[in-house]
């Protein structure tokens, strides 16, 4: 059976350019990039070239790129660093503002930080209102953490630092893991202090991420035990993963590759949404226009997500759901709950750099049959 992979928002397939760039550093070049011998200089040059490539994709300076093992580590570093910075300078636990639709990496990190927490709600499209952030600002606010794009419904967010937050001595963090590689990013334009990204969301390798740290800002490191990454993240860098990260980023900055991929992803997902919502009782969640181009979230009336996922999987199609059945958490989707829509019956379908119309044909052929069959079983 031919398998159809439509779960790129969870993790995308590895780009050939990234794999080819990684292989020499898996086979031949093994040295620590912090060493002065010739072997170390080879890996140091490769690491710094990858840093430049990632910076170019994100409109940042190379020195603003701190390599991490994942987007999750980058998020935790941002939260830890902001709260620790506050407590080094002031008394009290500090205060954090975030939104109800953040990734669990953000929500778990801020809850564990010990800081007082304000969680901003969202509208039915999954978008927060910047005025609500301004209303929540306090003299002891240490961090505002917001997402660039929602990981479940795809809605793009108004992430630019607000005017009211501008003069305050707080850090502004953007979780851009779902948006990087899919929507244009110019780090300086956000007026943010910190930004988290992940390689595997757009065709880089797993195990590679980065935290953008605004030039001149110093925050306490989460991982200590070495002076790597200019003393901002201890531990030997995973050179093959970072080189693959850089190669994937570089591919997107060549010519008009970025706009071509984004345009094709939007065409595919618009086709998918139009045909899927023609099925009775199926609706689309999230903003249909201001969104990442590669993701569509569907609500399916009267059928739980688990049997739909299993039915599609039996027909060779891999998709995802934010509902409890498809994740480690035994609860409905907190994203959809915050939006005020059905949190038990959602399906997330996402395309990638190598998705074709044939992949969509397979999904659109199987989806109505699976849904109708399950409804008949339930009615019976």
pLDDT digit string (tens) for 334-344? Answer: 999 999 998 88
Maximum CA extent, the chain: 73
Evaluate whether 210 touches 66 at the Cβ level (below 8 Å).
yes
Under the banding of pLDDT at 50, 70 and 90, the label for residue 306 is confident
Radius of gyration, CA atoms only, the chain: 21
Give domain 4-13+257-379's CATH number out of 3.90.1150.10, 3.40.50.2000, 3.40.50.920, 3.40.50.300. 3.90.1150.10
Under the banding of pLDDT at 50, 70 and 90, the label for residue 144 is very high
Residue pLDDT, tens place only, 43-100: 999 999 999 999 999 999 999 999 999 999 999 999 999 999 999 999 999 999 999 9
Per the annotation, the verdict on 177 as an active-site residue is no
- Structural tokens at position 105: 């990496």
* Domain 16-253: assigned CATH number: 3.40.640.10
* Distance (Å) of CA 19 to CA 3, 70, 184, 243, 247: 22, 18, 24, 9, 9
Under the banding of pLDDT at 50, 70 and 90, the label for residue 321 is confident
CA angle 5, 180, 113 (to 5 degrees): 105
Cβ-Cβ contacts under 8 Å for 229 (sequence gap 6 or more) = 66, 67, 237
Choosing from 136, 318, 324, 325, the catalytic residue is 325
Evaluate whether 145 touches 96 at the Cβ level (below 8 Å).
yes
| CATH topology agreement for domains 4-13+257-379 and 16-253 | no
* Domain boundaries, given as residue ranges, for the chain: 4-13+257-379, 16-253
Cβ-Cβ contacts under 8 Å for 278 (sequence gap 6 or more) = none
């Amino acid at each position: 059976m031919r398998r159809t992979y439509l779960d790129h928002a969870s993790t995308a397939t590895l780009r050939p350019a990234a794999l080819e760039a990684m292989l020499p550093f898996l086979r031949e070049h093994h040295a620590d990039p912090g060493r002065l011998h010739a072997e170390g200089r080879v890996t140091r040059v490769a690491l710094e070239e990858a840093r430049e490539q990632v910076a170019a994709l994100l409109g940042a300076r190379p020195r603003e790129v701190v390599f991490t093992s994942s987007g999750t580590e980058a998020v935790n570093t941002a939260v830890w660093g902001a709260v620790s910075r506050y407590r080094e300078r002031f008394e009290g636990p500090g205060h954090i503002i975030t939104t109800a639709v953040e990734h669990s990496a953000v929500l778990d990190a801020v809850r564990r930080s010990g800081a007082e927490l304000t969680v901003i709600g969202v509208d039915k499209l999954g978008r927060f209102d910047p005025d609500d952030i301004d209303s929540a600002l306090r003299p002891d606010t240490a961090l505002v953490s917001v997402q660039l794009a929602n990981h479940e419904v795809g809605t793009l967010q108004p992430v630019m630092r607000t005017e009211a937050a501008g003069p305050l001595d707080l850090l502004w963090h953007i979780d851009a893991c779902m948006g990087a590689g899919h929507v244009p990013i110019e780090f300086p334009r956000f007026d943010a202090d910190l930004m988290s990204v992940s390689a595997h969301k757009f065709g880089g390798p797993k195990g590679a991420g980065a935290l953008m740290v605004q030039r001149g800002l110093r925050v306490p490191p989460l991982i200590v035990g070495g002076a790597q990454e200019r003393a901002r993240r201890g531990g030997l860098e995973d050179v093959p993963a970072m080189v693959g990260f850089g190669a994937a980023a570089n591919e997107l900055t060549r010519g008009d590759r970025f706009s071509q991929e984004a345009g094709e992803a939007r065409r595919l997902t618009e086709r998918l949404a139009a045909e899927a919502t023609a099925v009775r009782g199926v609706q689309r969640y999230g903003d249909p226009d201001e969104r990442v181009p590669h993701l569509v979230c569907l609500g399916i009336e009267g059928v739980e997500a688990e049997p739909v996922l299993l039915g599609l999987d039996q027909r060779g199609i891999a998709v995802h759901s934010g509902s409890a059945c498809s994740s480690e958490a035994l609860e409905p989707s907190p994203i959809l709950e915050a939006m005020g829509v059905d949190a038990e019956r959602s399906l997330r379908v996402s395309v990638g750099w190598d998705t074709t119309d044939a992949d969509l044909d397979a999904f659109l052929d199987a989806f109505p049959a699976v849904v109708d069959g399950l409804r008949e079983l339930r009615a019976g």
